[in-house]
Amino acid sequence: MTRSLPVSLRDIILASERISGRVRQTPIVRSDALSERVGAAVYLKLEHQQITGSFKLRGATNAVLSLSAAQKARGVVAASTGNHGRALAYAAKAEGSSATICMSRLVPENKVAEIRRLGANVRIIGRSQDDAQVEVDRLVQDDGMIAVPPFDDARVIAGQGSLGLEIFKDCPEAATVLVPLSGGGLAAGVAAALKAINPGIRLIGLTMERGAAMKASLDAGHPVAVEEEESLADSLGGGIGLDNRLTFSMCRDLLDDVVLLSEPEIAAGMHHAYCMEREVVEGAGAVGIAALLAGKIDVTGPVVAILSGRNVDMEQHRSVINGATASTGKDTA
């Protein structure tokens, strides 16, 4: 790669070393069912088995561990669609700091309840992540809290990139990696790690059709605002920030493609994960499987799909397994 990246392979290696012992090195397993389906080896990176149920713990932990003692004493704050808030609450508690998590009313109640259980102060603000971010900015300005953004932060991106190092270590033959795409922290970090090691590897971002902010921004050539909508892949909701500093440019430069998925396709991914792989994953975590099932990936060699999270409302999950194809829980009948 000729373009210099704001987060380097060295940054990611240092982050991986920093968080070692505080996060799980999650396994990669071969999916015989998907391999037979697409005619090539398909591996699943079981990141939904992470301690807090999603990859977000990597970036949150690296960010908190990068703070000084004085900064930790001031407390950390973030906007979240759920999983980053849960991860930051856990990481802050582990380091003796306090966390305040600002979320919109679209965040599922199961995710809000878990963040509260971890001891964080929860503030529900508006109907979008952008609304929640306004409260974060106020708390930073008025109360001196330390912001730990969910994705557009070099410490967070480097932490998420540690997942890419694990993929290469356990599956060096991978030709394509399928990565859930929202604000771009995971995609940017994983792509930065893997492209630095193997420039020929393909990185494909996967997101839902409803309110895909990064896809809309990449198409426009600059960050744009989109209206957030309910989706089975609720963790992929939220804007990327009109003042995005890092993830937009990294996704633009590193991703080979972005694929959009419908609600029925996401539901099919969740259904397959449960019935064929015996894994409970949320909609955002199932998009890699969904894209393969829908025939939306040109498979030319071994594929790794990242199952990024499991923090799904179990009533919703049950309805999907029983035939629902949308976040409302309505089935096809």
Q: What is the 3-state secondary structure (H, E, C) of 20-52?
A: ECCECCCCEEECHHHHHHHCCCEEEECHHHCCC
**Which residue type sits at 278?**
R
Predicted pLDDT at 261: 98
12-39: per-residue pLDDT in tens? 999 999 999 999 999 999 999 999 999 9
Torsion over CA of 7, 11, 12 and 18, rounded to 10 degrees? -140
Q: How many CA atoms does the CB half-sphere of 63 hold within 13 Å?
A: 34
Identify the DSSP state of 16. Answer: H
The position carrying tokens 């419908």 is 262
**Known active-site residue 54:** no
SS3 of residue 333 by DSSP: coil
Left if phi > 0, otherwise alpha if psi is -120 to 50, otherwise beta: which for 38? Answer: alpha
Predicted pLDDT at 229: 87
Predicted pLDDT at 240: 93
Give the active site residue among 128, 162, 231, 308.
Answer: 308
Top CATH class of 56-147 equals alpha beta
Domains 9-54+153-321 and 56-147 share a fold: yes
Are 253 and 6 within 8 A, CB to CB?
Answer: no
**Cα 273 to Cα 281: distance, rounded to the nearest angstrom:** 7
**Cα 279 to Cα 27: distance, rounded to the nearest angstrom:** 13
Q: How many CA atoms does the CB half-sphere of 188 hold within 13 Å?
A: 32
Give the active site residue among 16, 31, 54, 56.
Answer: 56
Domains in the chain: boundaries: 9-54+153-321, 56-147
Are 82 and 104 within 8 A, CB to CB?
Answer: no
- CATH architecture of the domain with range 9-54+153-321: 3-Layer(aba) Sandwich (3.40)
Predicted pLDDT at 114: 94
Task: Mark the ranges of the chain whose per-residue pLDDT is less than 70.
Answer: 1-3, 327-333
CA 237, 241, 242, 246 torsion-angle sign = negative
181 CB-near residues (< 8 Å, 6+ apart): 187, 205, 206, 207, 212, 214, 215, 236, 251, 255, 258
The alpha-carbon radius of gyration of the chain (Å, integer) is 18
CA 327, 213, 51, 42 torsion-angle sign = positive
Predicted pLDDT at 2: 43
Q: Would you mind telling me the total number of residues written for the chain in this entry?
A: 333
Predicted pLDDT at 1: 42
The position carrying tokens 């198409």 is 219
The strand pair at 28-30 and 42-45 is best described as antiparallel
Are 183 and 150 within 8 A, CB to CB?
Answer: yes
CA separation (Å) from 59 to 12, 82, 156, 165? 10, 14, 4, 14
The strand pair at 76-79 and 99-103 is best described as parallel
Identify the DSSP state of 221. Answer: T
Predicted pLDDT at 101: 97
The strand pair at 257-261 and 28-30 is best described as unpaired
**Known active-site residue 31:** no
**Cα 34 to Cα 57: distance, rounded to the nearest angstrom:** 28
